[in-house]
Amino acid sequence: MTHKPTAGRLPLTLAATLGLVASTFAAMPAAAGECPPDQVAAGAMKPGATAPEGVTDEVLASIDLSSKGGDWKGSALRFRKLVVQPGGVVPWHSHEARPANILILEGTISEYRSTCKVPIEHKAGEVTAEFGDLAHWWKNNGDKPAVLYSADILPPMSDHADTM
């Protein structure tokens, strides 16, 4: 069945589709907190905590990307839930070889980023992308648990259990 647009009126299926797309974008999380431009600098933050503290890390799903061949051999796409208790720490780690997207679902959390002189505050509903020349650690300075969802690509030869 084909719909022909009429002047001044969209076909019902097209209007419904556009409405669905618009509501999806309206419901997307806000962009995450950023480093203030005057605080950006290479090597701005030195390595912090090196061990996790007060954090649970649950792998919800993982996909072996080896079947894609080439550079994907040995890599995995991983989806996790992290709960960081008040005072808890996600230790210093790098994203040079492991891109990730983090959704802050509940609470707030502070990021101590190698490229920023001050901590970056992330709030519930924000998403932050982690990739490239970035190393950082996170701390929950709030009084409620911070719940984060992480999707990352693990490079070949990484120890999946210990890669935060």
pLDDT tens-digit series, residues 31-49: 458 899 999 999 998 898 8
Q: Tokens 């649970």 belong to which residue? A: 56
Domain spans of the chain, in order of start: 32-162
DSSP string spanning 11-79? -HHHHHHHHHHHHHHHTSPEEPP---GGGB-TT-S-----S-EEEEEEEEEEEEGGGG-GGGTT-EEEE
Residue 58, number of CB atoms within 10 A of its CB: 9
Instruction: Tell me how far apart the alpha carbons of residues 128 and 116 are, in angstroms, rounded to a whole number.
Output: 15
Is the Cα dihedral 75, 81, 84, 85 positive or negative? negative
Q: Which two tokens stand for residue 51?
A: 């061990």
Architecture in CATH for domain 32-162: Sandwich (2.60)
Question: Worst-scoring range by mean pLDDT, 16-20, 81-85, 149-153?
Answer: 16-20
Question: Worst-scoring range by mean pLDDT, 38-42, 86-90, 142-146, 153-157?
Answer: 153-157
Q: Tokens 């796409």 belong to which residue? A: 77
Listed residue (14, 87, 92, 106) closest to 48, CA to CA: 92
Residue 112, number of CB atoms within 10 A of its CB: 21
Q: Name the pTM for this structure.
A: 0.74
Instruction: Tell me how far apart the alpha carbons of residues 60 and 37 are, in angstroms, rounded to a whole number.
Output: 36
Question: Contact 86/94 with Cβ under 8 angstroms?
Answer: no
Listed residue (138, 152, 142, 155) closest to 32, CA to CA: 138
Q: What are the tens digits of pLDDT across the range 67-80?
A: 888 888 889 999 99
